[in-house]
Chains A and B, each alone.
Chain A
Amino acid sequence: MEKDNAPASDPLPPGLSDPEQWVELHGDYLFKYALMRLRDPAKAEDAVQETFLAALKGGKTFAGRSAEKSWLVGILKNKIYDHYRKASRETSFTDLEFYSDEESERFVPDGLLKDGWIHELGPSEWSSPGASLDREVFWKTYRDCSDKLPKNVAAVFNLREVDGMESKEICALLQISESNLWVMLHRARMALRRCLDTHWFGKQAGAPGESTCKDSRRGPTNHHESTLSSDDP
């Protein structure tokens, strides 16, 4: 281990590239990573800069255990979490305008079958969803859909589903209750599912998205009867 007596000018451990190179080597990746989570270019730039500066100071924590990029991503993650933490202190993190229900108009409004799907508007099966995962156009659609989510809801969804953070940690980070978190996740899933259904899976099956002609949505157009369960974890 290196000596600690001259923290600012300590030589960085072997295996790390010259900090001057970091911006060229990792700048864009870190920026995209931050942008997807913060959804604000100025804030994402700040987070990248803070990351490099923190890395410069904490170069000694890089012990060659991880590749330089993942080491920097680890630091960036903490910068992003700091940002969320701050945002949740300043405003209520739960986004009330989003509590209007995405799918409301697809349910029977009253009567005996209240809150059941209006028949021709219920979800239809997605054909070979697993195969979509290899297609760049699918991810483009996915990102567009995710961009339509309210910022806070997208943040919660990404923490949970992309970063795989546990519910309890997210609640502690954002200072929200678990039931709040569950509602936000539910809304995010509902909105994302519907957006992908409209802009990807519905189109694939030959149905013109929102058009809800029974025959085109559930007829023999779903001829690849691949079962989703085989793609599930």
Chain B
Amino acid sequence: MNLLKPVKTGMITGLRLLMPSCREALRLQSDALERPLPPARRPGLWLHLLLCKWCRYYGQQIRFLRHAAHEHPDELTQAAPQKLSPEARERIKAELRRKH
């Protein structure tokens, strides 16, 4: 065990130099929805996603959020229970009559 520990530490340190941390991988995946990532960041992120299923799920899920919001604007707006209050309704009608 004592012999393996430095090997393991060395491997992890090596990988950490090659790829972003999970925290950075989240940010990079969000940024990737806004602009092409700088070429220097791509291989590291790719490697990270290959090895880390959590960050992979995270990326899928924020892309799902985009898809959901973009494809279903009415569900976001329409089904809200709020209605124009009767007072506002009357006020606006009166205003419309005045200007019409």
Chain B residue nearest to A190 (CB atoms) is: B26
Contact of A123 among B54, B71, B93, B100 (CB under 8 A): B54
Instruction: Judge whether A143 is part of the interface by a CB distance below 8 angstroms.
Output: yes
Q: Whole-angstrom distance from the CB of B65 to the nearest CB of chain A?
A: 6
For B, the interface residue count at a CB cutoff of 8 angstroms equals 55
Complex CA gap A18/B23 in Å reads: 56
Residue B46, interface by CB 8 Å: no
Stretch at the interface among A49-57, A60-68, A84-92: A49-57
Q: How far is the CB of B94 from chain A (nearest CB, A)?
A: 10
Q: How many residues of A contact B (CB 8 A)?
A: 64
User: Which residues of chain B are within 8 angstroms of A228 by Cβ–Cβ distance?
Assistant: 60-61, 63-64
Residue of A nearest to B21 (CB): A115
A122 at the interface (CB under 8 A from B): yes
| Cβ–Cβ contact A20 & B76, under 8 A | no
| Contact of B80 with A by CB under 8 A | yes
Q: Which residues of A contact B68 (CB under 8 A)?
A: 129, 133, 142
CB-CB under 8 A for A107 and B76, given A49-B92, A161-B69: no
Bound-complex Cα distance A113 to B24 (A): 13
Instruction: Give the interface SS of chain A, mostly helix, strand, loop or mixed.
Output: helix
**Given A48-B92, A123-B57, A164-B70, CB of A28 within 8 Å of CB of B83:** yes
B2 CB within 8 Å of chain A: no
A98 at the interface (CB under 8 A from B): no
Give A229's nearest chain B residue, CB to CB: B60
With contacts A117-B22, A142-B76, A228-B61 taken as known, whether A161 is within 8 angstroms of B70 at the C-beta atoms is yes
How far is B92's CA from A57's CA once the two chains are assembled, in angstroms? Answer: 15
Q: Is the pair A116, B21 in contact by a Cβ cutoff of 8 Å? A: yes
What total of A-B pairs shows CB separation below 8 Å?
171
Kindly state whether residue A36 has any CB partner on chain B within 8 Å. yes
Chain B min CB distance to A22 (Å): 7
Q: Is the CB of B93 within 8 A of A20?
A: yes
Q: Which residue of A lies closest to B72 (CB)?
A: A133
Does B18 sit at the interface, judged by CB under 8 A? no
Q: Which residues of A contact B70 (CB under 8 A)?
A: 161-162, 164, 233
A residues less than 8 Å from B89 (CB atoms): 23, 27
Q: How far is the CB of A222 from chain B (nearest CB, A)?
A: 11
A75 shortest CB reach to chain B, Å: 14
Closest-by-CB residue of B relative to A33 is B77
Contact (Cβ within 8 A) B76 A193: no
Chain B residues lying within 8 Å of A33, measured Cβ to Cβ, are: 77
- Other A-B pairs beyond A23-B93, A112-B9, 9, CB < 8 Å: A32-B77, A36-B80, A49-B88, A112-B16, A115-B21, A117-B22, A129-B61, A167-B34, A185-B34
The 9 residue pairs across chains A and B that have the minimum distance between CB atoms:
A122-B54, A115-B21, A161-B69, A186-B30, A115-B23, A228-B60, A123-B57, A139-B75, A31-B84
A residues adjacent to B (C-beta < 8 A)? 8, 19-20, 22-23, 27-29, 31-33, 35-36, 41, 45, 48-49, 52-53, 56-57, 103, 107, 112-117, 122-126, 129, 133, 136, 139-140, 142-143, 146, 157-158, 161-164, 167, 181-182, 185-186, 189-190, 192-193, 196-197, 228-229, 231-233
